[in-house]
Structure 1
Amino acid sequence: MTDTPARLLNLLSLLQTPREWPGSELAERLRVSPRTIRRDIGRLRDLGYPVQATKGAVGGYRLVAGAAMPPLLLDDEEAVAIAVGLRAGAGHAIEGVDEASVRALAKLEQVLPTRLRRRVSTLQNATIPLTRGDGATVDPHTLTALAATVTGRERLRFGYRSGAGAESKRLVEPQRLVSTGRRWYLVAYDLGREDWRTFRVDRVSDPFPTGTRFTPRELPAGGDAAEFLHASMARNQPGLTLDITFAAPAERVSARLPGYLGRPEPTGPDSCRLRSRCQDSLEWIALRLALVDCEFTVHGPPALGEHLGRLGARLTRASG
């Protein structure tokens, strides 16, 4: 292999696997001399890649953690696996798969060769995910299109269906994507309404980046998209004001509840109290409380306590 840049990329790709490579094996893989490998290792170090060498009969080279992350080089199988995994997570708004994951998916799909993009689509279309049914699904293509326009500060056209079923066309300046753990929302400035709006991504269709760049406007709520979304949802929906005590440590309860409900405050070594507001249904909140798997007391709202009473009676009858 006489092409030095191509050889360096191949060498870097090999070093990114979690193992130590003897110089002789690297030379054999790249079909060059051990001396060339030593020179190439020096070139990588000059470029800032932290390549560590160990001496001895079993010594070799490995890439270790450095101050900055080097470009990630993936083979075809690795690229397809990562893209499919990110698509699956993003498409179902799984808690913990946030905007950073969607940005990563958008970047990866942008550079995937056509042949790999087809493989990713084929795999996803042939797979039926076993989802929990606790959140609306979104099209990963839609999600990555929105993420790309947010990052690129590019105006976006799309179709939108309201909660009442009304269809409309929108032209917006997308600001941020926000995940609540169950759903994805786009926070954007609607040019037709001349005001800020939030859009549920699962109701967005046919997103079309216009290619027109824009200068970001100052977002209300101090520029925090999550706070703006929370305030918008509170205005548009009555919501629930929760006040619940748990007979378990705050860390354990927090780990079993969706993050958007907030963190319970410790009231003792084995107890805590959650005061929060949400726009979820009584049925959904009752289910999540049951999944915490500890004793708890509902102080509010009264409707939640009543629903839990009816649910408990129904489950008791079912067990008899």
Structure 2
Amino acid sequence: MGRAGGAERGTTERVLTLLGLLQQHPVRTGPELAERLGVTPRTIRRDVERLRALGYPVHADQGVGGGYRLGPGRNLPPLLLDDSEAIATAVALLAGAVDDTGDAALRALTKLDRVLPARLRHDVRALSGAVESFGGGRAPVDPEVLMTLARACRDEVEAGFDYPSGDELRRRRVEPYRLVAADRRWYLLGYDLDRADWRSFRVDRMRGVAARTWRFRPRAAPDAATYVQEAVASRAYRHRARFLVHAPADTVRAQVPASAAVVRSAGSGRCEVVSGADSLDFVLMHVVLLGHDFEVVEPPELGERCRVLAERLRSAGTRQ
């Protein structure tokens, strides 16, 4: 019984390896496959028949340049992916899930989750559960870095990395909470242990990312996507401005990139717009160009800038 079971597992593993080899290269000869798998050409022919019985359209071409090739077919089962390919695919799908192809990407990610081995499914679910988003998304970072941070979020263990501070890199220790996909970048929301405060970090700026062994008890955390969006749109700038715009929030959100401003409904067909800039005139003109009536809420000096710019525009319009 034990030998039979072992032989069956060996045959299954060999057939799956054969399938992987056929997926990696357009044509493989029988002797080449036999050498790669350490079996006879006769065994390869038998394994090919097993694949055909499972619904894989394996064709055998004769003559010079001939060999076995895997053809297209309606019932072709999912491709075999190694660990790194599966993780990279999950990262790409998650990036697509916050882009214009969101629904299709989420369906594909769900299918991927069903066919992955248990060890990889756990990691991909960790990444899925640790990701939030606002706006469109891309993933221009090392998938292994994302997985390291996602696992740290899942396992509630500290993470360490080097991060720019002025002109130098400094080691940061954080309790990681969530990964956030925002426009072209990925961010980590975490509690900075050295600064005793919540911070957002750009993943592409991190160096030497590593999960630590120290576990932490989760704190009451802010909403990850909202916190990072506010950080990207306003807190990173010299000036932070707040306006009351006389237009529905959905209308204004369609006009303003998520990374440029936070838009909240204020009821009665109005909304609050929070944005930041290094120049008050710059943020003011962007709100003017929305084409809606608005009021300045803060800072007080922005109201004075409105009056100065209004007089400048009025004067320009009356000149001959």
| TM-score range for the pair, normalised by the shorter chain length | 0.3 to 0.5
Q: Which has the greater radius of gyration?
A: 2
TM-score (norm 1): 0.45
Q: Which has the higher strand share?
A: 2
TM-score (norm 2): 0.45
